[in-house]
A and B are shown apart, each in its own frame.
Chain A
C-alpha cells in the first residue's frame, strides 16, 4: 500500500453528500420531466378536442337551476354566480355541521363516561354503530329511507307552527317590520353592557378573590335588554306562517330534505368520532387533579370546568381539528343526494355542460385546500392559546 490516505473506495460516489445531491437532481429531473410530459399531453389532447382553457366560461349563462340558494340566483345567471352559490352552500353546511357535531360529540363523549350504566351503554352503542358504517350509506338512509318516507304536504306532521313533510321542514319566517333598528341598537347595547360586566367581574376577582357569575349575568343582560327594546319598538316582527294546501305548502321558511339529510348525517357521523376524542381527552387528565381540586373545596361542576376541562382541551384540540377538516371535506358527499354544494354544482353540472375538466376540478381542489388550510390555521391558533405555557 503506497497511498494510505486515499483508500480505493473513497470515490466521488461514496461520499454521502454527493450521493444525496445526485439522487435529488435525478428526482427533480424526474418530477420536471413528468410534469412536462403530462402537460404536453394535456395541450395536445385539449387541442384535439377543441377545448379552450381558461375561466371565460364563468361569464356565460349557466342555464341550470340550483334548488338551494342563499343569494339571488336564477337560470339566467352566470356559471360564476353558480359557483358562488355552491361555495356558500358548502360553507353553510360545513359550519353548521361542525357546530352540531361538536355538541353531539361532547354530549355522547360525556355520556359514555357517565356513572349511569344504562346511559354509558347507550352512548357506546351509538358511537360504535355510527363510526363503523360508511357516511354515504348513512346519507342515503336519511335521504331515501327516512325523509322520503315522510307524508305528502297535505298530511304533514305539525308541531306548533312547524310542518314536517317530504318536501322538508317548514318553519315560520320572521318578517322584519319598521322600527327594527331600535331592537338592533338594544342588542348591541346589551352586548357592550355584558362585556363590561365580564371585565368588571374579572377585575374584582383578581383584586378581592370574590367570584361573580358573570356569564349567567351577561346572558340575562342580553336577553333582558333586547326584550325591553323589542317591547319599546312594539314587537316589530311578524311571522309568515307556513300554510299547507292540497299539494304544497305556501309561506314560511323551508329546510329542504337534501339539506336536512346532509346535515344530520354529517353531524351524527362526525359526532361519534368527536365523542371518542372527548372521552380520551377527559380520561387523559390525571385523577389526582380531580382529587386535588376537591381537597381545595371546589364543587364538582367547578372541578370539571376549571380543572379537568382546560387540561383535557389540550389533548382534545389537535384530533378535533382533523375531525373538523374531515367534516368539511365530507360535505362533498352531499353531491350524491343532490345537495347543491361545490362538487355537485362545479364538478358535476358545470363540468358536464362545459367540458372544462381541468378548470373545474382544479378550482374545487383549490377551494377545499383553502378551506382545510383556514380551519387548521384557526385551530392551530386556538391550540397555541390553550396549550401549556411552560417557563
Chain B
C-alpha cells in the first residue's frame, strides 16, 4: 500500500492581507503618522462636506422669482434661475438671443463634421476659419438681412467670455508662430524686434495691457479714427496671448532635432516650405499640451476685462450680486460661476491629455 502524499489545501491568506481590510491598512493606517493624517482628513471632510451638501442641496430653494421664496435656509438657486439669461447673454436683447444660440450650434456642427470621414478637411477648415467668423459677426452684430443691430456694449455674459477667449486664441496662434520663428531667425533685426516684443509683453500683467488698450490706444490714433472698446480689448488680449504662444511654439521648435532642418534644406525646400511642410507639423504636435494650457490661462484671464468696465460672465455675476432685491445671494452667484469656469477649464485640460495620447506616434524618447 503506497502512501500517497496528499498536500493539504493551502490556507487562505489572513484577512488582514487581502481585500478591503488590507487596502485600508496599507493605504490609510500603515504608520502612526498615516493614522493621524487619515483621522485629520476625515475630520476636515466631516467639517466641510455635510454642511455644504445640506446648504447646496437639502435646504436649497430651486424655484422662485424673488428672494422671499428662499425660506429654507439653504442655497437660493432661484437667483441663478432668474438671472440665467443675463449670465449667458449679458444685456443682449432677449428676442435676439436665438442668433447667439444659432451661431453656437453652427460652430458645434462644423467642428463635429471633422469626425465625418467623407468631408474634405481643408474646405471644412476654410469654412470654419474664414466663412464662419464673417457669418457669426453679422449674426451677432446684425445690420444685414433685416437683422436688428445690436451694439457691442450690450454683449456680455458667458457669450462675451467665450468670444474673447476663442478670438484671442485663434488670432494669437498665427501671430505667435510668426513671432517664434522670428525669435529663432538668424536675421539680427527681425530677431531683436521679436525678442523685444515678446519679453516686454511677458514682463507686464494683462491688466496694464487692457488699460493700455482701453485708455491709450485712442491717444495713438489720428483724430477721428477710433474703434470700439470690444475691438480694442480684443487687440490687447490677442497681442498678450501671442507673446505667450510664441514661447510655447519656440519650445516645440527647439525640440526638433537639427537633422530635420538639414534634411529639409537638402531637399531644396525654401525656408517657408521647410517650415510649413517639415518643421511646424512636428513642432506644433509636440506643444499641444502647452497650447491648450495657454488657452486655459487665457480663458481664465478674460475675467480681467471686468476691471476695464466690460461685463463678461464674472462681471454679470458681480453686477447681479449688487441687486438690492437679492441681497445675500453672493455665494450662490460665485458658486455658479466657479462651477461653469471649472467645468470648461477642467474639460479642456482632460481633452488635451486625450489628444496628446491620440497623437502620440511612438517617437517619444523615454
Give A residues with C-beta under 8 Å from B: 20, 23-24, 27-28, 31, 38, 41-42, 44-46, 48, 114-119, 122, 128-129, 131-137, 140-141, 144-145, 148-149, 329-330, 332-333, 335-336, 343, 347, 351, 357-358, 361, 364-365, 368-369, 372-373
Contact = CB atoms under 8 A, between A and B. Distances in A.
Give the size category of B's interface with A.
Answer: 35 or more
A357 B203 contact: no
Interface string B181-197: 00000111110010000
A28 B42 contact: no
B27 interface: yes
Given A38-B220, A134-B300, A332 B207 contact: yes
B211 interface: yes
A329 B223 CA distance: 33
A136 B200 CA distance: 23
Given A117-B28, A119-B41, A369-B204, A358 B219 contact: yes
Nearest to B347: A132
A361 B220 CA distance: 14
B346 A128 contact: yes
Interface in B194-212: 200, 202-208, 211-212
A136 B161 CA distance: 14
A360 to B, nearest CB: 9
Contacts, number: 154
A116 B208 contact: no
A140 B220 contact: no
B304 A119 contact: no
B101 interface: no
A48 B27 contact: no
A144 B212 CA distance: 28
A25 to B, nearest CB: 8
A335 B307 contact: yes
11 contacts: A24-B187, A116-B27, A119-B38, A132-B296, A329-B204, A330-B205, A332-B205, A332-B208, A335-B307, A365-B212, A368-B205
Contacts of B190: 23-24, 27
Contacts of B205: 329-330, 332, 343, 368
A144 B321 contact: yes
Interface in B218-233: 218-223
Q: Is the interface of B mostly helix, strand, loop or mixed?
A: helix
Interface string B37-71: 11001101100000000000000000000000000
Nearest to A136: B303
A145 B329 CA distance: 9
Given A128-B346, A134-B341, A141-B338, A347 B314 contact: no
Contacts of B193: 27, 31
A332 B41 CA distance: 34
A31 B200 CA distance: 16
Given A329-B204, A351-B215, A361-B211, A137 B334 contact: yes
Given A134-B314, A141-B338, A369-B200, A115 B34 contact: yes
Given A45-B219, A46-B219, A132-B345, A333 B207 contact: yes
Contacts of B207: 332-333, 335, 343, 347
A361 B208 contact: yes
Contacts of A351: 211, 215
B223 A48 contact: yes
Nearest to B328: A149
B352 interface: no
Interface in B65-91: none
A118 B337 CA distance: 28
A144 B27 contact: no
B30 interface: yes
Contact of A141 (B34, B203, B218, B334): B334
A378 to B, nearest CB: 15
B274 interface: no
Contacts of A129: 342
A373 B203 contact: yes
Contacts of A31: 193
Interface string B301-330: 101101100000010001001000000001
Among A118, A332, A343, A372, which residue has the most Cβ atoms of chain B within 10 A? A118
A137 B42 contact: no
Contacts of B282: none
A137 B303 contact: yes
A45 B220 CA distance: 8
Q: Give the 7 A-B CB pairs with smallest separation, nearest first.
A: A132-B345, A329-B205, A117-B27, A134-B300, A24-B189, A369-B203, A332-B205
A133 B341 contact: yes
B331 interface: yes
